[in-house]
Chain A
Amino acid sequence: ETGVTQSPTHLIKTRGQQVTLRCSSQSGHNTVSWYQQALGQGPQFIFQYYREEENGRGNFPPRFSGLQFPNYSSELNVNALELDDSALYLCASSTRTGANSPLHFGNGTRLTVT
């Protein structure tokens, strides 16, 4: 069974640039959620994708956008990067949307914005 994989592991970008982070869900999982974890805090929900459509969104501006592909993998795109976007970005997959499925996380992408 293949777990959740994320790429890249680390990334350094300059303020104002754009970034794309990638996630492959665990085999058999059709739902992908993205989280942002600032240093010393718990993860915060960005959005969830199911059947290639956004299926719930947290309190993040529109410059955070995503995609899900037919193989259930997903991308997180962030435009016009700000210094506060520096964080660990975590992808989690599950077998179902909503509450009735445990989340399985990848190792994350650590983004630094300078």
Chain B
Amino acid sequence: GIQVEQSPPDLILQEGANSTLRCNFSDSVNNLQWFHQNPWGQLINLFYIPSGTKQNGRLSATTVATERYSLLYISSSQTTDSGVYFCAVHPYNNNDMRFGAGTRLTVKP
């Protein structure tokens, strides 16, 4: 089945810093979504981005489907950005969303 790899696995930032999270996937996909899981376990949908670039406030994402990767950019990080960021892909002809192992982000004040 399709493999989803996220890097780095852990990231520690000082408040105000910028960061880039990466998601590589091993096969063509129908769509890709980025999620943030807060310390209480709630998964929030950040971006639905099968290709191209989207921005939402301090966050933006770019997916290059032909090269099988996606990037999540976080600018001017805040302590509330802490948590785990997951990339999930949807293979063709399948209802199974495959999640990566996540990037655990800690933003220190």
Residues of A within 8 A of B (CB): 33, 35, 41-45, 48, 55-56, 58, 88, 90, 92, 97-100, 102-105, 107-108, 110
Contact = CB atoms under 8 A, between A and B. Distances in A.
Nearest to B40: A107
Contacts, number: 62
A97 B50 CA distance: 16
A110 B41 contact: yes
B2 to A, nearest CB: 12
25 contacts: A33-B95, A33-B97, A35-B97, A41-B102, A42-B4, A42-B88, A42-B101, A43-B99, A45-B95, A45-B98, A48-B95, A56-B94, A56-B96, A98-B90, A98-B95, A99-B31, A99-B92, A102-B45, A102-B48, A103-B88, A105-B44, A107-B40, A107-B41, A107-B42, A110-B41
Contacts of B11: none
B33 interface: yes
A110 B40 CA distance: 11
**Which 8 pairs, one residue from A and one from B, show the smallest C-beta to C-beta distance?**
A56-B95, A42-B99, A99-B30, A99-B90, A105-B43, A102-B48, A45-B96, A99-B31
A108 B37 CA distance: 11
Contacts of B100: 42
B9 to A, nearest CB: 10
Interface in B56-74: none
B25 interface: no
A33 B92 CA distance: 17
Contacts of B48: 102
